[in-house]
Amino acid sequence: MKVPDKKDFLSMSFEELTEFITASGYQKFRAKQIYEWMYRGNDFSQMSNIPEKMRIDLDGMAVINLPKIRKKLVSDIDGTIKYLFLLNDGNFIESVVMKYNYGLSVCISSQCGCRMGCRFCASTIGGKVRDLLPSELIGQIIVASADIGERISHIVMMGIGEPLDNYDNVIKFLKLVNQPEGLGISYRNISLSTCGIVPKISELANLAFPITLSISLHASNDISRSEIMPINNTYSISELLYACNNYFKKTGRRISFEYTLISGKNDSKENAKELASVLKKHISGPIHVNLIPLNPVIERDFKTVDRHFAQKFADILKSLGVNATVRRTLGPDINASCGQLRRSEEINNK
C-alpha cells in the first residue's frame, strides 16, 4: 500500500491550513496557533499550547519543512551572515542576511542548483538538482530570522537558482510572504532577479505585484550576451527589454539591471555607450543599472575589474542619462560568492 504524502504545512496559506485543520475535526483557532509556531521556526513538538495527542496526530499527517543550519559565517567587517542550509533530502542551499540602515534583508535561493548555464556563475556548474518548494523558500527566511532574533523586512531573490524557472512555487511563496498571518512583508520590499525568461516576465507583469524586477543583463549586444548567457539564444535583448518595459507599464515599478563587469568581455567604453543606448531605446520608465565587478569563480577563467574602473563605467552611463551605481561589496571576508559554499560542501561530501 502506498503511504500518502504528508501535508507540507509551511507551503500552505493561512486559509488553506485553516480549511485542513477544521476538515480534520479540530477547532479553527488551532490553525492560528500552528501558524504562529511554525512561522517562528518551531516543529510540532515545541507547540506547547496544543494538546500532546493532537501534536502526535499532526506529526503523523504533516511536516513543517524547515531547512537546518549546516554552517554559518559572520562577517567581522559589516555583520553580513551567510548560511549554508541542509534540506530534508540532503541537498544544500545558501542564503545571506545583510544589515542595512532600514533593517535586515535576506538574499534567498530559489532552486537547488540551476540549469541556466551562465558562464561566469558558480551556481550553475553542477546543473539543476531540483526546484525548491514554497516551504523551502520561506523556510530560509524563518530560520535565519529565528536564529538572529530579529525581523527580516526585505527579500531579494538573487541566490542560487533561477526564480522564474520555478515560477509556480515562487508565486505561491510571494503570496505567503505577503500574508499578514505569515511574514507580512510588503511586495515593495521584495526584489526578484532573473536572467530573462521572457514569457514568465509577462506572466508576472499580469499579476501586477508591486515587486522590483532585476534583470541580469551583463552585456550590451546579443553576440556578447549569447556568449556568456545561453538564455539569450532563446530570447534576444530586444525581446527581453520589450517585456521589461511592459512590466514597468503594468506595475509602475522601476526596473533594475544587473551588469557584471568582466575584464575584456563587456567592460569597454563602447560597451557602456551601447548599453545606455539600448536601454534608452526600449525602456520608457526609470532605469537603474547596478554594476558588479565580477566575483571570480575558481572553475572559470574570467577576470574581474577594479572598483575604480567600474566607477568610470558608471560615470559614462550617467553622462548619457542612465542612472548607475557600483554595487557595494558586503561581507568581503566571508566571500564565497553565491553558490560556492554549496559547491564546496557537495564536493567534500563526495
Q: Which is nearer to ligand SAH, 143 or 289 (CB)?
A: 289
Q: Which residues contact 2 (CB under 8 A, 6 or more apart)?
A: none
Of positions 337, 344, 345, 346, contacts ligand SAH by CB under 6 A: 337
Catalytic annotation on 94? Answer: yes
Three-state DSSP class for 116? coil
Q: Which residues contact 261 (CB under 8 A, 6 or more apart)?
A: 267, 291, 292, 293, 294, 304, 305, 309, 310, 313
**Per-residue binding letters, 180-209, with ligand SAH (x by CB under 6 A):** -------------xxx--------------
# residues near ligand SAH by CB under 6 A: 17
Q: Which is nearer to ligand SAH, 176 or 294 (CB)?
A: 294
Catalytic annotation on 338? Answer: yes
CB of 267 to ligand SAH, least distance (A): 13
Rounded CA-CA distance 205/215 in Å is: 14
**Per-residue binding letters, 144-173, with ligand SAH (x by CB under 6 A):** --------------x---x-----------
Q: Which residues contact 215 (CB under 8 A, 6 or more apart)?
A: 193, 194, 196, 240, 244, 255, 256, 257, 258
Q: Which three cell numbers stand for residue 241?
A: 527589454
CB 284 within 8 A of CB 317: no
CB 302 within 8 A of CB 263: yes
CB 210 within 8 A of CB 253: yes
Of positions 132, 205, 295, 331, contacts ligand SAH by CB under 6 A: 295
Q: Which stretch binds ligand SAH (CB under 6 A): 6-14, 79-87, 118-126, 141-149?
A: 118-126
CB of 220 to ligand SAH, least distance (A): 15
Residues near ligand SAH (CB under 6 A) are 116, 118, 120-121, 158, 162, 193-195, 216, 258, 260, 292, 294-295, 297, 337
Active site (catalytic) residues:
94, 338
